[in-house]
Amino acid sequence: MPWPRFYCLLLCAIAFPLAGESGRPVALADLATAVGAQLWMDPWRGVALLQTPNRTLSVDLQTGVALADGEQELQLQPFKSSSTGPQLSQEDYTRLKDWFSLTAPGKPLVPPAPLEVIPRSDPHRRVQVIVLDAGHGGSDPGSLGRHEFGGQSVVLREKDLTLAVVLEAEQLLRAKYPDRNIILTRNSDTYPTLEERVKLAHAQNLGPHDSILFLSVHFNASLNPKASGLEFWYVPHDYDREVIATKDVPESVFPVLNLMVDQEFKKESMELAKNLATSLAQELGDSQIQRGLKENPWFVVRMARMPAVLAELGFITNPDDAYRLQNPAYLKQLARGLYIGLSSFIQKYEDLP
């Protein structure tokens, strides 16, 4: 599987003998050259990883916090940005160059062949696949709401509402993105298991610049009939998991790379949740309570190795929410809110420098 967001710069063969000797800030790439390290950059998270046969240094370019050999924390001076990439201070350059030159027990550097070598700036970064998951279905109705509206008894089933919203969102996304893959985990009243839903997402073929998003749609229920409103869930920031396959990267960098990719997915999940919450608030106006963004390792968001959000679009057990939810026009409005949120996330993601 390619790693589209990592730039692998193989700099060892290029020599910049004067780098760092002038007192001016020095490009991080020049440090990599000077110590014979390979450099991976992740522009979305603003982190970099330098590796030699003996040493590994990961750097958060925003805070200047660096982790040496996965254990020792160093505070560097703020990085400056330049046309040659992030620059570090002369003092930090000297300090890190010395640190890299110290002998440390290490494992031989495995050539990072499975990592995709792509240009430093990736104008082709693209969300190529969107997986829409209508929660529940078939033998699993999800939550149920029984209400009396105008003397009529109404029973709402979560599985019907999620499917209606997802089918509508699918139409809107297909019209806007005819050349992207809009995938549904179900398009009728069937029940794919949770594992099957996630497996379907992982089975999608991605090119070196492609990304995939996962959105699971649900409706809430509560014993308290007053509970009402929308929630957007994503995996907790401190929930550890493996998001890359050990076979895809050198063993020596696996823990650091896995952490970087996982943090990136979590950050993107939160960004996606924010975009969805904002667009739905705009679409629905004051008619719905916004209960906000929340963290929980629900199966589908925990297992999806990609940015993933679970949206709870109202309480089926609340009479006001349920009254709106029985109206097909309102379900279309919810779908439109999801569509706008997804679109705005995609636009921001693809416009990143």
Stretch binding Zn ion (CB under 5 A), from 30-38, 118-126, 127-135, 238-246 = 127-135
Q: Which residues lie below 8 Å from residue 289, measured CB to CB, with a gap of 6+?
A: 228, 229, 230
Closest to Zn ion by CB, 91 vs 140, is: 140
Q: Which is nearer to Zn ion, 90 or 326 (CB)?
A: 326
Choices 75-83, 88-96, 128-136, 176-184; region in contact with Zn ion by CB under 5 A: 128-136
Question: With respect to Zn ion, which residue has the nearer C-beta, 191 or 254?
Answer: 191
> What is the Cα–Cα distance from 110 to 51, expressed in whole angstroms?
10
Q: Where are the alpha helices (DSSP H) in 64-144?
A: 90-101
Rounded least distance, CB 322 to Zn ion, Å: 15
Based on the shown chain and the rule CB under 5 A, indicate whether residue 142 belongs to the binding site for Zn ion. yes
Nearer Cβ to Zn ion (209/294): 294
* Cβ at position 140, least distance to Zn ion in Å: 9
- For residue 293 the two structure tokens come to 């963004």
- Interaction pattern, residues 49-88, with Zn ion; x per rule: CB under 5 A: ----------------------------------------
The answer to whether 281 and 220 are in contact (CB under 8 A) is no
Binding-site size for Zn ion (CB under 5 A) equals 3
- Of 16 and 299, nearer to Zn ion (C-beta) is 299
- The C-alpha atoms of residue 244 and residue 16 are separated, in whole angstroms, by 34
96/163 with CB nearer Zn ion? 163
What minimum distance in Å lies between the beta carbon of 32 and Zn ion? 48
Beta bridge partners of 196: none
Q: Using an 8 Å Cβ cutoff, are 28 and 85 in contact? A: yes
Residue nearest to Zn ion (CB): 218
Instruction: Please identify, using beta-carbon distances, which residue of 157 and 218 lies nearer to Zn ion.
Output: 218
d(CA 235, CA 243): 13
Token look-up 């279905």 returns 137
Residue 348: closest CA among 288, 292, 278, 290: 278
Sign of CA dihedral 247, 117, 86, 238: negative
Count of CB atoms within 10 A of residue 257's CB? Answer: 24
Binding segment (CB under 5 A) for Zn ion, from list 109-117, 141-149, 279-287, 288-296 = 141-149
Query: Is 135 a residue that touches Zn ion (CB under 5 A)?
Result: yes
Instruction: Kindly tell me which of 43 and 142 has the beta carbon lying closer to Zn ion.
Output: 142
Part in contact with Zn ion (CB under 5 A); list of ranges 64-72, 134-142, 224-232, 337-345: 134-142
Q: Which is nearer to Zn ion, 135 or 307 (CB)?
A: 135
Instruction: Label residue 344 exposed, middle or buried (CB < 10 Å: 0-12, 13-18, 19+).
Output: middle
Residue 54 to residue 108: CA distance in whole angstroms: 7
> DSSP letter string over 250-302?
-GGGHHHHHHHHHHHHHHHHHHHHHHHHHHHHHHHGGGS-EEEEEE---HHHH
**Least Cβ distance, residue 225 to Zn ion (angstroms):** 18
> What backbone torsions phi and psi does residue 218 show, to the nearest 5 degrees?
-140, 170
Positive or negative: CA dihedral 202, 207, 208, 211: negative
Q: Does the footprint of Zn ion cover residue 314 (CB under 5 A)? A: no
Minimum separation from the CB atom of position 135 to Zn ion (A): 4
Interface residue with Zn ion among 218, 274, 305, 336 (CB under 5 A) is: 218
Which of residues 135 and 341 has its CB atom nearest to Zn ion in the complex?
135
Q: Shortest approach of Zn ion to residue 298 CB, angstroms?
A: 9
Q: Which stretch binds Zn ion (CB under 5 A): 40-48, 186-194, 205-213, 215-223?
A: 215-223
337 sits near Zn ion (criterion: CB under 5 A)? no
Site stretch for Zn ion (CB under 5 A), options 85-93, 106-114, 210-218, 314-322: 210-218
Residues that bind Zn ion (CB under 5 A): 135, 142, 218
